[in-house]
Amino acid sequence: MLMHRAPSLPRHARGFSLVEMMVALVLGLLVVAAVLAFIFSLIRANSETVLSMRLNQEMRATMSLIAADIRRARSLSDPIAAVGQGGVVTNPYSNIDVSTANCMRYSYSESTGGATNYRALRLDNGKVVLVRAATAAGAACTSAGTPLNTDGVVITGLSFSNPGGNARRIDVVLTGRLKNPPSYMSKNPSMAVSAKTIRQTVSIRSNGT
């Protein structure tokens, strides 16, 4: 009895061997891993940029509030009344005190004639606090006040200086950081958003002495 053998397949029609499939699978996994690592890197870089912008915005907003109030220091409710009077105009709000670290004390006459003409700006437990009081003693560097920055930022440094003791120029330095940065930043220091420091020189009024 004659036996017929099945014709052999040409070499190019044969399937992949097990070794070839394993090599292809490993190469494919390496490519996928590289793509995922690149995508995660882009996401983290974008997150760092957004957080850095947020910190800058928060810091500048806080500095803007500080500067706006300091700029009113020494102002009188009716400065025009002193024009042409001759001699030296006495200003009860002329004193500016930056001798205490992280604190500035000053005053001005509110246009509304209110009873809170005295001010103190100070650093308190990560917050910039604005104190309002009816007397100079009430606006102390330890008095309670209103926080100016949001809970998302911790203010770590606040300083005031009056170069030359001229009381017409106050240099303000403000340093802060994010309160709750993403957890991955602690694992990868290179991705951390560092503390930001901004400086501003505020020119103030010179009404009287």
What is the full per-residue pLDDT of the chain (209 aa) written as tens digits? 555 565 555 555 566 677 778 888 888 888 888 888 877 777 776 777 778 888 899 999 999 999 999 999 988 876 666 565 565 667 888 889 999 999 999 999 876 656 789 999 999 999 999 999 999 999 999 999 999 999 989 999 999 998 877 778 899 999 999 888 766 665 555 555 678 999 999 998 765 55
Q: What angle do CA 187, 188, 189 make, to 5 degrees?
A: 110
* Both tokens assigned to 127: 């917050």
pLDDT value for 49: 75
* Both tokens assigned to 203: 């020119």
Contacts 24+ apart (CB under 8 A), 146-151: 148/62, 148/65, 148/66, 149/58, 149/61, 149/62, 149/176, 150/58, 151/179
CA–CA gap between residue 204 and residue 96 (Å, rounded): 10
Question: Helix-strand-coil percent breakdown of the chain, rounded to 5?
Answer: 35, 25, 45
- Using the structure block, give the residue that is written with the tokens 């006459």: 109
pLDDT value for 50: 77
pLDDT value for 178: 87
pLDDT value for 60: 94
pLDDT value for 70: 94
